[in-house]
Amino acid sequence: MRVAVVGAGLGGLTAAHAIRRFAGERGRALELEVWDANDRPGGQLFSVREDGFVVEWAANAFRTGVGPTADLLARLGLQAEQVHADPAANRRYVFHGGRLHLLPSDPISLLNFAPMSPEGRLRVLAEPFLTHRVGDEESVFDYAARHIGPEAAEVLLGTMVRGIYGGDARKLSVDAAFPIMREMERDHGSLVVAGLAGMQKRMRERKTTWSFRGGMRTLVDRLAEELGDALRLDTAAAVLSAEAAGGFRLRAADGDERPFDAVVLALHPAAAAGLVAPLDTEAARELAGIPNAPIGMVAMAFARDALRTPPDGFGFLVAPSEDLRVLGILIESNVFPGRAPDGTVLVRAIMGGVDDPGFDDRSDADIEAIALDAVDRAWGLATAPLRTWVGRQGRGIPQYVIGHHARLARIEGRLARFGGLHLAGNAYRGIAVGKLVDDAEVVASAVWGAAAAG
Ligand SMILES: Cc1cc2nc3c(=O)[nH]c(=O)nc-3n(C[C@H](O)[C@H](O)[C@H](O)COP(=O)(O)OP(=O)(O)OC[C@H]3O[C@@H](n4cnc5c(N)ncnc54)[C@H](O)[C@@H]3O)c2cc1C
């Protein structure tokens, strides 16, 4: 079977890897090509290694225990490269009311959590007695307000949604963006009971936070190395057409044209929409309708004494009510010691999000100034950074808004009529690294399942 994977971000690389593995396990012949418009693989996922610093462009870590991600790393022989997050970095903060507060990790610390009123804190603890189940899809905010009250929904969940998706808790679907929360409700009724039942603790024990000595690029480089000649960089897919007798033709921007039995579009949905449009305008319209939040980052290296208060723990997220124009700041050299030379601190401000739609138009100098202002207000800045890196993720982070699952089902229903056309990447079934690895198995199954059916 001839298979093309279009897009060599993590979604495309892991899908290609799984498709090839499935072929080996089934004893099936495979001609695989992976195309990417860029001159390097990895898409958003990229690590710069300079002067003893390891600076991430997108994910700085992934969570894994037993499961597909651990299996993939074992197959790739990457265990020796893995580094575990420092347990001291479990301490996370929220910027609220102009200063940092340690996020509560248990009922006692919640009772002392100043960003919420005493009534709001008690409302969280009363959750097991007040909650009721709702069957329909709802927003993250509505779900959280029903469980832990509107104040905690705003301060805790609103902040988390900004930190992970750059998104708005009132718009994102809890079912699509945080399915684990629906599972907790289904299994325990109450989130507090789920916590007390030790569910979170068991989950933490099973899944822990990891990266690689040389940053997340280690994973990308290894996956690309495995693909060998199958990976074609500087190869943008320009036109996709369906053959009357079944199968597809893909034309690259340089005019090169190839036939394939199956095509996996592992692109941002707007780019996928452009390729799908000649085949099915409705599917293209639906793909183009998946919203995204612009995202960028400023990494900053400081001499250790440049910050008046030593940055503690993992870093902080910014509550939606605050005027700090960053979504959060990660203290990279705390989470993974070895990311910065001795005597220095490496932090990374994540910026943009749905609340800052003009982010892409800001100059590098502007976003660097915003990042430094946030550092100054959080920890106090005595001297300028030793150096900075500015990174932008043009396509940003897809937003799984209310109706996401229904939209995806409609798109997949329409594409299924072509037999052999599949979607991969972070716009559909999960944005996190581990979710993309899980999804690669689903995509490979669909590719070979469709092949068996054909
Ligand atoms: C700032 C930031 C922080 C993050 N932090 C975390 C984290 O801590 N933990 C975590 O688990 N996840 C995190 N994520 C999420 C994770 O990094 C991304 O979801 C993931 O890397 C996206 O991979 P992808 O393959 O879906 O998309 P992309 O990386 O966008 O890949 C798409 C690829 O398609 C290519 N392409 C586009 N058009 C064409 C065309 N016409 N022809 C051929 N190729 C084309 C592009 O060049 C690109 O390589 C973060 C993301 C961001 C932005």
Query: Do residue 269 and residue 300 come from a single domain?
Result: no
Q: Does 67 reside within a domain?
A: no
Q: Which residues contact 376 (CB under 8 A, 6 or more apart)?
A: none
Quickly tell me which residue has 């892409």 as its tokens: 360
End residue of a domain, out of 189, 207, 225:
207
Give the nearest ligand 1 atom to 237 CA.
Answer: 42
- Please say if the pLDDT value at position 35 is more than 90: yes
Residue 14's closest CA among 297, 246, 223, 299? 223
Query: Do residue 224 and residue 367 come from a single domain?
Result: no
End residue of a domain, out of 173, 207, 241:
207
Shortest-distance Cα residue to atom 51 of ligand 1 = 58
Query: Do residue 175 and residue 261 come from a single domain?
Result: no
Q: Does 201 reside within a domain?
A: yes
Q: Does 68 reside within a domain?
A: no
Interval 285-331: pLDDT, tens: 999 999 999 999 999 999 999 999 999 999 999 998 899 999 999 99
Q: Does 70 reside within a domain?
A: no
Query: Do residue 113 and residue 165 come from a single domain?
Result: yes
| DSSP track, 300-333 | EEEEGGGBSS---SSEEEE-TT---S-SEEEEHH
- In this prediction, residues 400-421 reach a mean pLDDT of 97
Query: Do residue 156 and residue 190 come from a single domain?
Result: yes
Q: Which of 6, 250, 399, 431 has most ligand 1 atoms within 8 Å of CB, for mutation?
A: 431
Query: Do residue 387 and residue 417 come from a single domain?
Result: no
Interval 142-169: pLDDT, tens: 999 999 999 999 999 999 999 999 999 9
Query: Do residue 115 and residue 84 come from a single domain?
Result: no
Q: Which residues contact 53 (CB under 8 A, 6 or more apart)?
A: 299, 301, 339, 340, 341, 344, 346
Q: What is the pLDDT of residue 205?
A: 52
Query: Do residue 115 and residue 201 come from a single domain?
Result: yes
Q: Which of 44, 232, 390 has most ligand 1 atoms within 8 Å of CB, for mutation?
A: 44
pLDDT band at 200 (very low <50, low <70, confident <90, very high): low
Per-residue burial over 159-185, b = 16 or more CB atoms within 10 Å of its CB, e = otherwise = bbbbbbbbbbbbbbbbbbbbbebbebb
Q: Does 109 reside within a domain?
A: yes
Q: What angle is formed at CA 332 by the lines to CA 326 and CA 335, rounded to 5 degrees?
A: 120
Q: Which residues line ligand 1 (CB under 6 A)?
A: 6-12, 35-38, 43-45, 58-62, 236-237, 266-268, 271, 295, 297, 350, 393, 395, 397, 425-426, 431-433
Ligand 1 mean position, distance from CA 389 (Å): 19
User: Which residue range is the domain that position 155 belongs to?
Assistant: 105-207
End residue of a domain, out of 207, 228, 254:
207
Per residue, the 3-state secondary structure of 359-420, as one string, reads HHHCCHHHHHHHHHHHHHHHHCECCCCCEEEEEEEEEEEECCECCHHHHHHHHHHHHHCCCC
pLDDT band at 133 (very low <50, low <70, confident <90, very high): confident
Ligand 1 mean position, distance from CA 190 (Å): 34
Ligand 1 mean position, distance from CA 431 (Å): 9
Q: Does 93 reside within a domain?
A: no
Give me the CATH number covering residue 360.
Answer: 3.90.660.20
Ligand 1 mean position, distance from CA 117 (Å): 39
Give the nearest ligand 1 atom to 434 CA.
Answer: 11
Query: Do residue 275 and residue 411 come from a single domain?
Result: yes
Give me the CATH number covering residue 136.
Answer: 1.10.3110.10
Work out how many domains the chain is built from and give that number. 3
Interval 104-132: pLDDT, tens: 988 888 889 999 999 999 999 888 888 77
Do the Cβ atoms of 164 and 178 come closer than 8 Å? no
Query: Do residue 227 and residue 313 come from a single domain?
Result: no
- In this prediction, residues 9-24 reach a mean pLDDT of 98
**Computed over its alpha carbons, how large is the radius of gyration of the chain?**
23
Residue 315's closest CA among 299, 293, 338, 294? 299
Q: Does 100 reside within a domain?
A: no
Interval 77-109: pLDDT, tens: 999 999 999 998 889 999 999 999 999 988 888
Q: Which of 14, 17, 36, 64 has most ligand 1 atoms within 8 Å of CB, for mutation?
A: 36
Q: What is the pLDDT of residue 187?
A: 82
Mean pLDDT of the chain: 93
Do the Cβ atoms of 397 and 431 come closer than 8 Å? yes
Query: Do residue 192 and residue 326 come from a single domain?
Result: no
Q: Does 413 reside within a domain?
A: yes
Query: Do residue 325 and residue 270 come from a single domain?
Result: no
Interval 167-196: pLDDT, tens: 999 999 999 999 988 888 888 887 777 766
Ligand 1 mean position, distance from CA 9 (Å): 5
Give me the CATH number covering residue 265.
Answer: 3.50.50.60
Ligand 1 mean position, distance from CA 446 (Å): 21
